[in-house]
Amino acid sequence: MSLLENKRPLELVVIGNSGDKRVALFQQALAKLDLPQARLVDYLDVITGRVVLVDVLTPDTVVRIESPGRNFEVEQALLALGAESEEPEGNGVYTRLSRRAIELLSFEKGRILPSRQWYLGYCTVLALIARQVAPARLFNLPADIQLMFDKRACHALLSEQGIAVPASLGPVYSYEELRARMQEKHCSQVFVKLAHGSSASGVVAYRCKGARQQAITTVQMVDSVDGTRLYNSRTIQVYEQPAVIRKLIDALCEQRVQVEQWIPKAGYANKTFDVRVLTVEGQAHHSIARLSHSPLTNLHLLNDRESTEKIRERLGETVWTCALADCQRAARLFRSLYTGIDLLFTADMRRHAIVEMNAFGDLLPGLLHNGHDTYTTEVLALVQRTNKEAVLMKSDVNHD
């Protein structure tokens, strides 16, 4: 029995990378629902112009944009596009690689390449997709992805809309400026995040009390002939020497950072936690608690997962419901079908704050809600949306 009211097959195109786990899980969801497999268009083909989207789409095709991450060739191509992009904040503010330097790069596991340059290149690709695909035919919108990949802009939007977020310290361009801003704001601990990073890349939990300082991060620093190189790892690093912390913060600031008040998180099972919430069509669906002994709770750091049912009991229904309502308000600021939201609760379990909006925050393997994984839930929502469109079109024809 077809899920679709109009009986026509659902035509889907996924812009992603061959061999990517996200693409595979999405295709599995389609197969589970007896829907045709999506056509995969590689990011590299879009970037190089080998595939022009308008040539492969029909008026009924729906396009899903997947994460471009974890593919070195794509990363190089986006950096190359970024090298040609104008910097809105002025030349020389952030570090850049020349096209020649990008061509000479070889893959180094965990290396953090200029994320601002990468972002500007990705914005070029998103603009290209937006020009070729009508918004109504998009699973997730390029403008939404662009905004969610800019932590400064996304935080500002949520704050303007009255959604609970940690206080921002504003633009910071160096270690000295960070220290001065913290003193000015009477703030002793902050999160310093790469403005265009993801998955804890370039995130530092920094605190200072008098002469004592501490920076907790996954970033390792290596001195080289071309300066300090930064690498992500799965090992938590704790830096306490002021000169080392200065070097780390300055290196991150060269790639553009977002700085926010570090709000102590609620605890559970002798660890602190936050919650990843998946919203679909503006409604909260899947959620999972992420538990850690460190301030960094990302699951790829081998932190523990916990059912939110137990967390919900501990928090109480009023606090939980209020937090989910804020997540839904935040999601509805965007027109994309889904968002992943990182949500914290304060140590006293009375308040909450949204700390991240993730454009590709649905990679939660094995997590079910109403019997469906994240990708199946999204596909069912798309089918429902498509069926509504079919009913409206039929109604228009009958009225004519």
Q: What is the pLDDT of residues 352-370, one digit of tens each?
A: 999 999 999 999 999 999 9
Boundary-marking domain end, from 233, 261, 289: 261
- On average, the pLDDT of the chain sits at 94
Give 166-169 contacts, CB < 8 A, sequence gap 24+: 166/191, 166/260, 166/261, 166/262, 166/263, 166/353, 166/355, 167/260, 167/261, 168/258, 168/259, 168/260, 168/261, 169/259, 169/260, 169/261
User: Are 283 and 212 in the same domain?
Assistant: no
Q: How confident is the model at residue 397 (pLDDT cuts 50, 70, 90)?
A: very low
Boundary-marking domain end, from 208, 237, 261: 261
Distance CA 285, CA 376 (A): 12
Range of the domain at 68: 12-140+377-399
SS3 122: helix
* Percent with pLDDT over 90 in the chain: 88
- The burial class, CB within 10 Å (0-12 / 13-18 / 19+), for 111 is middle
User: Are 312 and 182 in the same domain?
Assistant: no
Asked, for residue 218, whether it belongs to a domain, the answer is yes
**Residue listed under structure tokens 């949500």:** 343
User: Are 338 and 387 in the same domain?
Assistant: no
User: Are 347 and 392 in the same domain?
Assistant: no
Task: Supply the pLDDT for residue 154.
Answer: 99
User: Are 99 and 243 in the same domain?
Assistant: no
User: Are 130 and 23 in the same domain?
Assistant: yes
Asked, for residue 33, whether it belongs to a domain, the answer is yes
User: Are 46 and 70 in the same domain?
Assistant: yes
Asked, for residue 34, whether it belongs to a domain, the answer is yes
Asked, for residue 368, whether it belongs to a domain, the answer is no
Asked, for residue 208, whether it belongs to a domain, the answer is yes
Question: For the chain, where are the alpha helices, taking DSSP H only?
Answer: 21-32, 43-48, 53-56, 72-83, 99-103, 115-132, 142-148, 151-160, 175-184, 242-253, 308-315, 317-331, 374-399
User: How many domains does the chain divide into?
Assistant: 3
DSSP state of 14: E
**Residue listed under structure tokens 């056509």:** 39
Token readout for 70 is 């974890």
Asked, for residue 1, whether it belongs to a domain, the answer is no
Task: Supply the pLDDT for residue 91.
Answer: 86
pLDDT of 198 over the 80 cut = yes
User: Are 111 and 53 in the same domain?
Assistant: yes
Average pLDDT score over residue span 365-393: 89
CA distances, 33 to each of 14, 75, 230 (Å): 17, 33, 43
As beta bridge partners, residue 260 has 168, 191
Task: Supply the pLDDT for residue 279.
Answer: 99
Asked, for residue 128, whether it belongs to a domain, the answer is yes
User: Are 125 and 78 in the same domain?
Assistant: yes
In CATH, what number is assigned to the domain containing residue 343? Answer: 3.30.470.20
User: Are 269 and 213 in the same domain?
Assistant: no
Q: How confident is the model at residue 28 (pLDDT cuts 50, 70, 90)?
A: very high
Boundary-marking domain end, from 229, 261, 293: 261
- The burial class, CB within 10 Å (0-12 / 13-18 / 19+), for 105 is middle
* Percent with pLDDT over 70 in the chain: 95
pLDDT of 390 over the 80 cut = no
User: Are 50 and 21 in the same domain?
Assistant: yes
AA letter at 4: L
Q: How confident is the model at residue 323 (pLDDT cuts 50, 70, 90)?
A: very high
User: Are 159 and 304 in the same domain?
Assistant: yes
**Residue listed under structure tokens 């990182």:** 342
Asked, for residue 6, whether it belongs to a domain, the answer is no
pLDDT of 1 over the 80 cut = no
